[in-house]
């Protein structure tokens, strides 16, 4: 069964076998192994995955695992030896669902301006800043809806109120 990364990070234990799905956020290749950080949107934190050379098609997988690639990874959780995370996933099987070309994929490890992200509506939620903003917005909307329901109020979304100009097609102003 596939687990969400937020669930793995909060309640999973070492020596537990898990399968996760998500997008590659970073990749670091070292001499004897590689690290890939994966995020599925359920948490701001990434899950670090350790890839060892004895993994089936190791070299081919490393070429496919670029930032933005869509993956499913199965493996065993181990206590992390590094700082910043409690657990990491030692990969035993990786399925790449969608590759990402590092030359053309617009989101990289660097920071991006809001002006740049405005043109990438479908990828905004994958950034840390806007992912956090969307989570706060979701929590506020849920609280407002819950308050309305508990108080026997009927919530509705009013239409957008922006002034129409005479030049706009469909305008009723003459």
For residues 23-41, average pLDDT:
89
Torsion sign, CA atoms 16, 22, 26, 27: positive
pTM of the predicted model over 0.75: no
Is the per-residue pLDDT at 36 higher than 90? yes
Query: Residue 17: what pLDDT?
Result: 94
Query: Could you tell me which residue, 128 or 94, shows the higher pLDDT?
Result: 94
- pLDDT higher than threshold 50 for residue 174: no
48 confidence band (pLDDT: 50, 70, 90): very high
Average pLDDT over residues 85-97: 92
pLDDT in tens, 18-29: 999 999 988 888
99-109 tens-digit pLDDT? 877 676 656 66
Determine the pLDDT at residue 148. Answer: 85
In a 3-state reduction of DSSP, which class is residue 139?
A: helix
Pick from 10-19, 37-46, 157-166: least confident: 157-166
Q: What does the mean pLDDT of the chain come to?
A: 82
Query: Is the CB of residue 46 less than 8 Å from the CB of residue 29?
Result: no
Provide the token pair at 9. Answer: 């990070």
The tens digit of pLDDT for each residue in 98-151 reads: 887 767 665 666 676 667 666 766 666 667 677 788 888 889 989 988 888 888
């Amino acid at each position: 069964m596939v687990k969400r990364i937020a669930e793995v990070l909060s309640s999973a234990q070492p020596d537990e076998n898990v399968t996760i799905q998500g997008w590659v956020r970073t990749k670091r290749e070292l001499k004897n192994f590689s690290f890939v950080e994966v995020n599925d949107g359920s948490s701001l934190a990434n899950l670090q995955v350790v890839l060892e050379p004895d993994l089936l098609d190791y070299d081919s997988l490393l070429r496919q695992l670029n930032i933005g690639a869509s993956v499913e990874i199965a493996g065993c959780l181990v206590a992390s030896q590094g700082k910043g995370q409690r657990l990491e996933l030692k990969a035993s099987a990786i399925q790449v669902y969608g590759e990402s070309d590092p030359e053309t994929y617009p989101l990289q490890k660097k920071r991006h301006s809001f002006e740049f992200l405005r043109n990438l509506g479908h990828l905004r939620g994958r950034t840390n800043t806007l992912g956090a903003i969307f989570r706060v917005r979701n929590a506020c909307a849920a609280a407002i809806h819950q308050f309305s329901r508990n108080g026997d109020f009927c919530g509705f979304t009013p239409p957008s109120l922006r002034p129409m100009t005479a030049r706009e097609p469909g305008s009723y102003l003459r």
